[in-house]
Amino acid sequence: MIGLKGTLNIIDNWGTLVADRECVNVLKQKVNNGWGSVGDEIVVVVQRACPISSAVSVSVTAVKVCHDDVRRAVIVRTCKAVRRPDGRMVRFDDNTTVFLNNKREMLGTRIGGVVSADLRLKGWGKIASLAPKVI
């Protein structure tokens, strides 16, 4: 469960090596009083970003995400345990997200970590298919 002011990590390859995010709003969520779970869309503010250097020139950097950018994202892993329909409890070591554009499409082309299988049930099949492992 991700609440307001919760910190999240990044696992897609859209412009940063290291980024910390802070949740500022959980979108379209009326049931859980502002708490977000796996597959929920949120609004985040980038707190810290380290840009990827260009392979052609070290002085040129590809800055796609800057400090204090406000972006939409989808939650792909949470520390809070989630109960599956068969009774299993699944939880991860960190809270992570993936950037989205305004059309609810993933901005990156690769995902660098494990994602939850609950993404397929909530309509994020493309994110689950790009991940190296789905648990």
Q: What pLDDT sits at residue 38?
A: 92
Alpha-carbon distance of 128 to 94, in angstroms, equals 17
Q: What pLDDT sits at residue 58?
A: 45
Tens of pLDDT, residue by residue over 48-58, are: 777 655 544 44
Superfamily (CATH H level) for 7-109 = Ribosomal protein L14/L23 (2.40.150.20)
pLDDT at 12 over 90: no
HSE of 34, CA atoms in CB hemisphere, 13 A: 7
Q: Write down the domain spans for the chain.
A: 7-109
pLDDT at 29 over 70: no
Rounded to the nearest 5°, which phi and psi values hold at 128?
-65, -35
Residue whose token pair is 């500022």: 24
Q: What pLDDT sits at residue 123?
A: 92
Tens of pLDDT, residue by residue over 73-130, are: 999 999 999 999 899 999 999 999 999 988 999 988 899 899 999 999 999 999 999 9
Rounded to the nearest 5°, which phi and psi values hold at 72?
-95, 150
Residues in the chain: 135
